[in-house]
Chain A
Amino acid sequence: MSVAPPPTLNHPEIRRLAPVIGPGHDYVTVTEKISDIVLKRPTTLGWFAGFSLAFTFLGILTVAIAWLIIRGVGIWGINVPIGWGFAIVNFVWWIGIGHAGTLISAILFLLNQKWRTSINRFAEAMTLFAVACAGIFPLIHTGRPWMAFYMFPYPSTMGIWPQFRSPLIWDVFAVSTYGTVSLLFWFVGLIPDLATLRDRAVNRPQQIIYGILALGWRGSARHWHRYQSAYLLLAGLATPLVLSVHTVVSFDFSIAIVPGWHTTIFPPYFVAGAIYSGFAMVLTIAIPLRKYYQLEDFITMRHLENMAKVMLATGLIVAYGYFFEFFLALYSGQKYDVFLVQQRLHGPYAPFYYALILCNILTPQLLWIQKMRTNVVVLFLMSIVVNVGMWLERFVIVVISLTRDFMPSAWGRYQPTIWDWATFTGTLGLFTTLIFLFVRVLPAISIAEMRELVAHSSEEHK
């Protein structure tokens, strides 16, 4: 027999831990459990209530953007010297959240971590939606979003081209590549599941729509052969990509000479922060999702605990980043950098800085305790705290540095307006709306990969 069972799941060391899939599942039960959420389960009142709330905030976003287009960016709290404000804070926050999906799908796939299976699909969806929310901000921050195509190189009659030496143009390429590759990765993963939905469809429209999307997938061994090859390559390509995107975002800051931005620690510390906030958001979504759709067998305590551990680890890297920002500023002896450190600790925005330390560094230390890592309520609250903390981090970076430039005559204050808040909460609405639609129309967990997991954990291969 040429096929040896993969050792991963039967290894005694792993058996000891909570399982990655509940007991007693076979191909049919995993298929039914996941696809019935989409195909058969009636749309409940709870779903409508949640969707309506999210949709209301999406409405607020449309109003905020419409008003912005009518009146211009003056409706926001930005002014000289704070040109960036909420738009960039939120952009960096959302794009950071968007990192966990690809990390889970690509890096954990390459590392052969079986526990990624039941969380990768919705983490990838979350990535796409977060990137969509992120993309809105720089677009509308340009002030004239209908001119945004200027950022792309195209042969214009004016004969001008984008400035390729600018990190802002790198950002255009990094974020659009990231969005495209994440979409491709997500779709490739979906193809076999769409075929399952097509075959299990209970009415004609489902059959037609899923049938078109499934591209006629029939599970041929020749197709799987190429499919696996392409999937592995995509994972290998997405891994450096995911690390490059937040690196490029951090270049937006670190290439500038503004005090507090111009440091070499930024790229790795931004990437760690991105993974940190991304995992927090995955937990924020996974915990209600598994509860509401009774998916505790598939998204087990093991998944939640592992995600908590990743959060703890990346949180410590972020803490290291904060420490080194301080150390490098003091060690450099540059008076502007030293002054910025003082401003963070004692300036007008010091409360934000202390709140950030509390949210991102102190509170997550509770995750060292196993009881905390396995308590669903604690984990959920912790994920919210980290999301808030990471938002504060971007606020501190953008606002404190810009309000305390080189010359006191250039100093200022930043106060967001109601339209800043409307736009921000509006993107939360867009994100949640998309999540609600996603769990309703597509399988939130990869069915084909769950079958693989069943095959590996059953005794079938013996």
Chain B
Amino acid sequence: MNEPSSNIYGVMGEFETATQLIRAAEKTREAGYKDIDAYAPFPVEGLSEAMGLRRSWVPPVTLLGGLLGGLTGFFFQYWVNVSAYPINIAGRPPNSWPAFIPVTFELTILGASTFAVFGMIAMNKLPRPHHPVFNVARFSQHASIDRFFLCIEATDAKFHLAESARFLQGLHAVHVTEVKDDD
């Protein structure tokens, strides 16, 4: 039954409140749609759960960055002081590890923070200046300001342009629009 014409990205419903968006996301998932995405002008509490999103990979990536930064920080200082450039200052041992802690700590934070931020951006597949959803005029005008959108994507097995549009209307979407793909 689904024969999405190649230039359709999906169908999008616009909602007035965050609560309606959450309800719509829940209902859409219950109806069996999988390739959906919701759009909101601020992080809406409970939307991730309604969308059934799994725990993000950001924390493990951050941990990895922290470990890399910390280990690099410590062992680099160790290598410099023990092997590359050992100098005797006041008879302290070459591996005077307590003195290495501040730099180790700072590099742990630096590694973790950069991994968290750039990891988040990369996993979000940004920067991506253009995306098919921007083809919807009302999306460009309102999505980053005051309206909430739910898009059922054409790649979904259940997707049917007219059916899916009617489904979104049934969820009290104030506007339902088809989203053109760029190809």
A binds B: yes
- With A and B bound together, what is the CA distance between A59 and B167 in angstroms? 64
Residues A6 and B45 in contact, CB atoms below 8 Å apart: yes
Pick the contact of B144: A167, A196, A233 (CB < 8 A): A196
**Of B56, B87, B128, which is in contact with the most chain A CB atoms at under 10 Å from its CB?**
B56
A161-B84, A170-B102, A460-B17 as given contacts; A224 in contact with B109, CB under 8 Å: no
Residues B59 and A229 in contact, CB atoms below 8 Å apart: yes
Cβ proximity bits A222-242 to B, threshold 8 Å, 1 near / 0 not: 111111111001100110110
- With A and B bound together, what is the CA distance between A448 and B39 in angstroms? 13
Pick the contact of A234: B107, B113, B143 (CB < 8 A): B113
Residues A240 and B109 in contact, CB atoms below 8 Å apart: yes
Cβ of B81 within 8 Å of any chain A Cβ, yes or no, is yes
Which residues on the A side are within 8 Å of B31 (C-beta)? none
Residues A219 and B102 in contact, CB atoms below 8 Å apart: no
Cβ proximity bits A184-223 to B, threshold 8 Å, 1 near / 0 not: 1101100010011011100000000001100111111111
Which residues on the A side are within 8 Å of B33 (C-beta)? none
Main secondary structure of the interface of B (DSSP, over half): helix
Minimum CB distance partner of A456 in chain B: B45
Residues A233 and B103 in contact, CB atoms below 8 Å apart: no
A residues 25-41 touching B (CB-CB < 8 Å):
26-28, 31
A247 to chain B, nearest CB (A): 8
B residues 38-60 touching A (CB-CB < 8 Å):
38-51, 53, 56-59
Pick the contact of B110: A159, A161, A181, A221 (CB < 8 A): A181
Cβ of A147 within 8 Å of any chain B Cβ, yes or no, is no
- With A and B bound together, what is the CA distance between A192 and B145 in angstroms? 10
Cβ of A2 within 8 Å of any chain B Cβ, yes or no, is yes
Cβ of A177 within 8 Å of any chain B Cβ, yes or no, is yes
Minimum CB distance partner of B148 in chain A: A219
A224-B40, A460-B19 as given contacts; A229 in contact with B120, CB under 8 Å: yes
A3-B19, A165-B99, A216-B126 as given contacts; A221 in contact with B109, CB under 8 Å: no
Residues A199 and B116 in contact, CB atoms below 8 Å apart: no
Minimum CB distance partner of A5 in chain B: B45
Which residues on the A side are within 8 Å of B39 (C-beta)? 218-221
- With A and B bound together, what is the CA distance between A216 and B39 in angstroms? 13
Which residues on the A side are within 8 Å of B37 (C-beta)? 220-222
Pick the contact of B43: A167, A200, A227, A238 (CB < 8 A): A227
A153-B76, A227-B124 as given contacts; A161 in contact with B44, CB under 8 Å: no
A222-B124, A233-B116, A461-B19 as given contacts; A244 in contact with B105, CB under 8 Å: yes
Cβ proximity bits B62-89 to A, threshold 8 Å, 1 near / 0 not: 1000100000000011001100110101
Residues A219 and B114 in contact, CB atoms below 8 Å apart: no
- With A and B bound together, what is the CA distance between A161 and B85 in angstroms? 7
A220 to chain B, nearest CB (A): 5
Residues A455 and B42 in contact, CB atoms below 8 Å apart: yes
A170-B102, A244-B105 as given contacts; A226 in contact with B50, CB under 8 Å: no
- With A and B bound together, what is the CA distance between A165 and B80 in angstroms? 11
B residues 89-109 touching A (CB-CB < 8 Å):
89, 92, 96, 99-100, 102-103, 105-107, 109
B24 to chain A, nearest CB (A): 11
User: By the criterion of a CB under 8 Å from any partner CB, how many residues of chain B are at the interface?
Assistant: 71
Which residues on the A side are within 8 Å of B43 (C-beta)? 224, 227-228, 448, 452
Residues B53 and A451 in contact, CB atoms below 8 Å apart: no
Residues A3 and B112 in contact, CB atoms below 8 Å apart: no
Minimum CB distance partner of B126 in chain A: A215
A333 to chain B, nearest CB (A): 25
Cβ of B157 within 8 Å of any chain A Cβ, yes or no, is no
- With A and B bound together, what is the CA distance between A317 and B77 in angstroms? 35
**Of B51, B81, B112, B113, which is in contact with the most chain A CB atoms at under 10 Å from its CB?**
B113
Cβ of A45 within 8 Å of any chain B Cβ, yes or no, is no
Pick the contact of B41: A3, A6, A27 (CB < 8 A): A27
**Of A3, A216, A219, which is in contact with the most chain B CB atoms at under 10 Å from its CB?**
A219
18 A–B contacts from the bound complex (CB under 8 Å): A2-B50, A3-B45, A164-B99, A165-B96, A174-B102, A174-B106, A181-B109, A184-B113, A216-B127, A218-B133, A218-B143, A220-B124, A223-B126, A227-B43, A234-B117, A238-B113, A241-B109, A451-B146
Residues of B within 8 A of A (CB): 17-19, 22, 25-26, 37-51, 53, 56-59, 62, 66, 76-77, 80-81, 84-85, 87, 89, 92, 96, 99-100, 102-103, 105-107, 109-110, 112-114, 116-117, 119-121, 123-124, 126-131, 133-134, 140-141, 143-146
